[in-house]
Structure 1
């Protein structure tokens, strides 16, 4: 779609439904002044949701780590299954897996994905002829699926807080600061309306302090979004206290200039003081409720964080679910179970929990992605999703209730149409690339299973 205009009854703008009186113009990849309404697209139109945390290759192992081991299973036993699965994936495999995943994301209402990318090299760390081969595979997958991409190459250097060397399986992830900066310099010129570059520190246990400081001082890192896994597991917290004398989030806030460029992924295990400090720093809490539940991580202190003025977004992480609806639903339900109260994310009387969740996750996702997205307004990238007003689940739902019903009325898909970058990617629940993506994905997964 180019130099056209669309119209709906209601647009979600600045945290509220507003009657669409003039329509939205679309010029190239961006919204522009409407030049006459040419197409009515539906009753309720929302900005697309950013997915702020993704490990694309893990989509192909969803459901393969649900068999109990000989002892108590945890994140750490799951991680060994993941390492074994990742061992055989090459750039072509990664592209096929990611294309299938990204098609699923767009159909679900995600229009930007932050790819936390650490599968850099070949088995046992053997370098590809092009050091950016795996990164480029992800970029090609995003183009084929029609989703915006914030690529976050990951610096991963050590196997623990004690500085132990990486294991043989972890060698695929390894960079030193110099080679990592070279990768960023290779990718930076490729940025455009649909591709944004950021950086990721895998975790405090995987990045020594001096390496973190050296990377963040480089010119290429200036102004880029910064993401880090942190305080996901109790074991991680205990090791950090033992070897660095402080809890992970406490240590990071004391040793880095954490601000709105930062996304602290998971940040599950926080003290009250840490919760308040993260909120006041402007950093985004990157919450992944379905993966955190699947791994038995724990529950983020959502109510206290919101009350302190904190910003959060959502990600599908290991992709055992690919749905912003399910992430937001289980974010709220987890809080209800632990607090034994309802409507936790709505912090004011008469506030809708659905609208509070959607807008807060939208705000956090926009910040984490580092891209001009998430606004149905002139100049922003033209991303939107149209709810299916024909569905019985939205019958007799007005502006006050529609997002609550969208998130809490069941599992029937309600995202009917999706536009990303001014192009219709999904029409009437169908994505033009889904057939080819599914065939390529099936072939790769069957190959990996036989390996």
Structure 2
């Protein structure tokens, strides 16, 4: 296949803008050298790498907005969780595929080109196993294929209902595997991997995976090279329970009992001491931050400035999908810090540094590491993912390369991602995805039935 040269005025490469010229070409699903190639398609003025979404629970998109009515007492993450469990009760593989396809198309249109799916809805109601044990995982794989997004599938090990080892309740039985069943699921899925599909492992949380099970899993051959994700220290109640049962805070305990390194992504990690923050940063693990969901659930605020100053790596995810936009995640990552510190431009740690470029580059690098992909680079050999900003938009009028990303992130809510390429194929052109109408109709049918159940 002959390489196809692409031209742009500016390409985002290695953390800064470079005059584009004929700086890119696409061969199959990957970027190839462009030198010596004549002509080519001018794709736009400003071209960015696609953004990885490092944390997703796809089925929760269908309940966005349905948990905003006050209960009889003080509402919290734990009351929201009961609403979520009730909603998830009736979802089957066909439903999950329809919901995930709609969500993944929304992601691609917003500028996400890879999603880490933290997938724990494995079985049928009350834990009855499907004839195909991987049925729900396969539904997600098919949804990603139809949407044209890269998928890092993270099947979740979920065994107990608390640090004290209590059994899962009836609604949680859909999530349950023992270690042997879980390894068998990974072995079933591993041969399906390709350039658009990566496999990883997810420990739901320390409260859901006993220490002996964690050690057995991490020692198994199928897991030794895979990325590892875990929910941790999201809620103060979780921190208190871990202290009571294990005698240490969750992040402290994990760092003391596992070889935490760049293979690991710690989702939320909201409640950290300064010592934990420093240790987490030095470990090389990715902090997986989901600001819109963390705000929606009342989780708290991550110690961003301290973590960055310690050399920490971070990425962003849309988690429960009350918002599906890297712009909004990054904006609220910064705004939350401004509210708690009462200072501006917190993520920019050096004089004259741009907040937008600092956030975008950090999220690219951390997200790609968490997703086990190379999509954060517009460079030879990387998967050919890119975003073209709408230089016709009034929001980018009179903006040059010095301030275009700041305007992209902080100038309003008008979509500015005009075109999206994933794996060498245009998935979005002029704000439109070829499958969006059919996916929206299938999604609507499913959600209307679930709402009536």
* TM-score, normalised via structure 1 length: 0.99
Report the counterpart of residue 232 of structure 1 in structure 2: 234
Please tell me whether residue 412 in structure 1 is matched to residue 414 in structure 2.
yes
CA distance in 2, matches of 1:23, 1:225: 32
CA distance in 2, matches of 1:103, 1:434: 7
Report the counterpart of residue 316 of structure 1 in structure 2: 318
Report the counterpart of residue 126 of structure 2 in structure 1: 124
CA distance in 2, matches of 1:323, 1:414: 11
Is residue 278–residue 310 contact of structure 1 (8 Å, CA) maintained in 2? Answer: yes
CA distance in 2, matches of 1:341, 1:2: 52
Report the counterpart of residue 19 of structure 2 in structure 1: 19
CA distance in 2, matches of 1:22, 1:449: 51
Report the counterpart of residue 150 of structure 1 in structure 2: 152
CA distance in 2, matches of 1:326, 1:291: 11
For 2:343, which of 341, 366, 369 is the aligned residue?
341
Report the counterpart of residue 351 of structure 1 in structure 2: 353
CA distance in 1, matches of 2:291, 2:323: 10
CA distance in 1, matches of 2:4, 2:438: 29
Q: CA-to-partner distance for each residue in 1:343-396, whole Å, 9 max, x for gaps?
A: 000000000000000000111001000112111001000000000000000001
Q: Counterpart of 2:126 in 1: which secondary structure?
A: helix
Is residue 159–residue 177 contact of structure 2 (8 Å, CA) maintained in 1? Answer: yes
Report the counterpart of residue 166 of structure 1 in structure 2: 168
Unaligned runs of 5+ in 2: none
For 1:93, which of 69, 72, 95 is the aligned residue?
95
Q: Counterpart of 1:377 in 2: which secondary structure?
A: coil
CA distance in 1, matches of 2:67, 2:38: 53
Please tell me whether residue 297 in structure 1 is matched to residue 299 in structure 2.
yes
Tell me the C-alpha RMSD between the 2 structures: 0.8
For 1:46, which of 48, 51, 64 is the aligned residue?
48
CA distance in 1, matches of 2:373, 2:17: 23
Report the counterpart of residue 107 of structure 1 in structure 2: 109
CA distance in 2, matches of 1:33, 1:350: 33
Q: CA-to-partner distance for each residue in 1:412-442, whole Å, 9 max, x for gaps?
A: 0000000000000000000001001000000
Shift of 1:36: 2.6
Is residue 23–residue 37 contact of structure 1 (8 Å, CA) maintained in 2? Answer: no
Shift of 1:336: 0.1
Report the counterpart of residue 134 of structure 1 in structure 2: 136
CA distance in 2, matches of 1:447, 1:37: 52
> For residues 51-450 of structure 1, what are the structure 2 equivalents within 5 Å?
51-450=53-452
* TM-score, normalised via structure 2 length: 0.99
Structure 1 stretch 112-121 or stretch 4-13: which is displaced more?
4-13
Q: Counterpart of 2:53 in 1: which secondary structure?
A: strand
CA distance in 2, matches of 1:2, 1:90: 43
Is residue 31–residue 381 contact of structure 1 (8 Å, CA) maintained in 2? Answer: yes
Q: Counterpart of 1:399 in 2: which secondary structure?
A: coil
CA distance in 2, matches of 1:373, 1:117: 22
Q: Counterpart of 1:336 in 2: which secondary structure?
A: helix
Shift of 1:23: 3.0
Q: CA-to-partner distance for each residue in 1:128-184, whole Å, 9 max, x for gaps?
A: 000000000000000000000000000000000000000000000000000000000
Shift of 1:2: 7.0
CA distance in 2, matches of 1:416, 1:22: 20
CA distance in 2, matches of 1:90, 1:345: 41
Shift of 1:42: 0.3
Is residue 237–residue 248 contact of structure 1 (8 Å, CA) maintained in 2? Answer: yes
Q: Counterpart of 2:21 in 1: which secondary structure?
A: coil
Is residue 157–residue 207 contact of structure 1 (8 Å, CA) maintained in 2? Answer: yes
CA distance in 2, matches of 1:431, 1:208: 43
Report the counterpart of residue 5 of structure 2 in structure 1: 5
Is residue 2–residue 422 contact of structure 1 (8 Å, CA) maintained in 2? Answer: no
CA distance in 1, matches of 2:435, 2:396: 28
CA distance in 2, matches of 1:443, 1:37: 46
Shift of 1:37: 3.1
Shift of 1:341: 0.1
